[in-house]
Structures are given as C-alpha cells and as structure tokens.
C-alpha cells in the first residue's frame, strides 16, 4: 500500500505524491515523474511502480502543479523544476540514494534537475522527448553532459519524438549512458498487435531492464 504524501514546493502550494516501499527495500529509491498529458496514476506509471517495488526499490510518484490543480497546460520549466526538486528532497529525506526517473516530459525535467543537483544516484528516462512536439525542433542536450551520473534511456524504435538517428548519437556521446530500444514501440511504448507484445509485456521488459541497471548502481 502506497503512502499518500503532500509535498510543499512553493509557499502555500502543495502537490500529492505516493510512496510505495517494498517489505525488504534494497535501494536505490526511484523518483518517477509523469509525462505532459497524464498524471501519477496513469496505467503506465502505476504499472511501472508496481514492478519496480516488486524488484525491491522504493518508488515515489507525484503530480506537477498543473496536474494537481486540474489545468491542462503544463507549467513553465522553473515551476516544474521547483516542484520536482521538492519531491526529490522529500524522498531523499528517507535516507535512500535517489535515482531521478521520468516519462517523456517528466524525464526531461529529471535530466535538467540531475544536471543541477548534487548527489542523485542516476537518471532513467522513458521516452526522452528529444524533438519538441509543438515546434518539431530538436532540443538542446548540452545539459546531459553535466549530470555526471549513470544514465539509462529507454525508447521505442518508432518514437516520433526520439528518432533513433537523433537519439542514438546523443546517448553514445555521453559517458556511462545506456540505450534500451523496444522495437516497434511508439513514444508511449504502444506497440502494434502484429508485434506479439502486450502493454503488460512491454512494462515487464522496461521494469526488468531498469531493475538490472539499478542493481548495477549498488555495486
């Protein structure tokens, strides 16, 4: 059963977070941020949390302010990062090493936070939005070279926001970065029926790869 938390990210403004802790936590803990269009309770988020907790990792999810307040448009980056930082600090207070993780926009925010934060154990991103969905422009990734932590990028081969021809060179240029590609999957890790994969099967794979990578961080 997850613990419901309220995280104050700005004076008088709070967001909701859920912290799930396994019976025998092995760490590091994972802070998982949601994408632009769905909050912490989205099936992708819930499914990944359940699997990471089953693998022994305390995992916390939270809503960004716009999602908490029922607004459709995401907050600007300073507000997103302030909220993300507050959620990180709340989780880190339990004493576990913290890996910053996130889906799409949440992963991009996690990467910016990792570049300016001392002490994260690593960075894991599910569907890094290298290409802006609004403008089609390729985003600057210079900050990724400033993180100094192990990084895991998980991406679908059909992700229109992270074409392999663009994403692979970025990952290969980073020290201690790994790329896991799910063949046939799109940006939300949806797969065509002909692939023989299911939503749960894709989540199983993402979680297994993540858990193995997290286990390597402990050594």
- Rounded to whole angstroms, how far apart are CA atoms 66 and 199? 27
Buried b (16+ CB within 10 A) or exposed e, 94-109: eebebbbbbbbbbbbb
Instruction: Please tell me the predicted confidence (pLDDT) of residue 92.
Output: 95
Instruction: Please tell me the predicted confidence (pLDDT) of residue 99.
Output: 97
pLDDT in tens, 13-59: 999 999 999 999 987 999 999 999 999 999 999 999 999 999 999 99
pLDDT band at 164 (very low <50, low <70, confident <90, very high): very high
- Rounded to whole angstroms, how far apart are CA atoms 156 and 161? 10
CA nearest to 163, candidates 146, 138, 143? 138
Domain assignments of the chain as residue spans, ordered by start: 3-217
State the residue for tokens 């600090």. Answer: 89
pLDDT in tens, 185-205: 999 999 988 888 899 999 999
- CATH class for domain 3-217? alpha beta
- Rounded to whole angstroms, how far apart are CA atoms 61 and 63? 7
Q: Is the model's pLDDT at 9 over the cut of 90? A: yes
Peptide bond before residue 67 is cis, with ω within 30 degrees of 0:
no
CA nearest to 111, candidates 129, 131, 125? 125
Tokens (6 digits) for 103: 């889906």
Q: How far is CA 2 from CA 32, 90, 98, 140, 181, in A?
A: 14, 15, 18, 36, 30
pLDDT in tens, 75-122: 999 999 999 999 999 999 999 999 999 999 999 999 999 998 877 899
pLDDT band at 154 (very low <50, low <70, confident <90, very high): very high
CA nearest to 31, candidates 118, 116, 125? 125
Q: Is the model's pLDDT at 144 over the cut of 90? A: yes
Q: Is the model's pLDDT at 72 over the cut of 70? A: yes
């Amino acid at each position: 059963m997850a613990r419901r938390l309220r995280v104050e990210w700005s004076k008088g403004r709070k967001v909701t977070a859920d912290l799930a802790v396994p019976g025998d936590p092995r760490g590091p803990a994972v802070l998982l941020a949601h994408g632009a269009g769905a909050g912490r309770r989205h099936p992708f988020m819930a499914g990944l949390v359940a699997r990471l907790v089953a693998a022994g990792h305390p995992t916390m999810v939270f809503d960004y302010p716009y999602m908490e307040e029922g607004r459709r448009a995401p907050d600007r980056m300073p507000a997103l990062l302030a909220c993300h930082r507050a959620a990180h600090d709340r989780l880190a207070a339990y004493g576990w090493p913290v890996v910053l993780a996130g889906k799409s926009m949440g992963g991009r925010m996690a990467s910016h936070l990792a570049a300016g934060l001392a002490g994260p154990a690593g960075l894991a991103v599910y569907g890094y939005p290298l290409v802006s969905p609004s403008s089609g422009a390729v985003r600057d990734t210079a900050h990724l070279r400033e993180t100094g932590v192990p990084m895991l990028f998980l991406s679908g081969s059909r992700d229109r926001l992270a074409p392999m021809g663009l994403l692979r060179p970025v990952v290969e240029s980073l020290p201690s970065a790994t790329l896991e590609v799910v063949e046939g999957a799109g940006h939300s890790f949806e797969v065509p029926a002909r692939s023989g994969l299911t939503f749960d099967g894709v989540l199983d794979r993402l979680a297994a790869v993540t858990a193995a990578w997290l286990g390597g961080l402990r050594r």
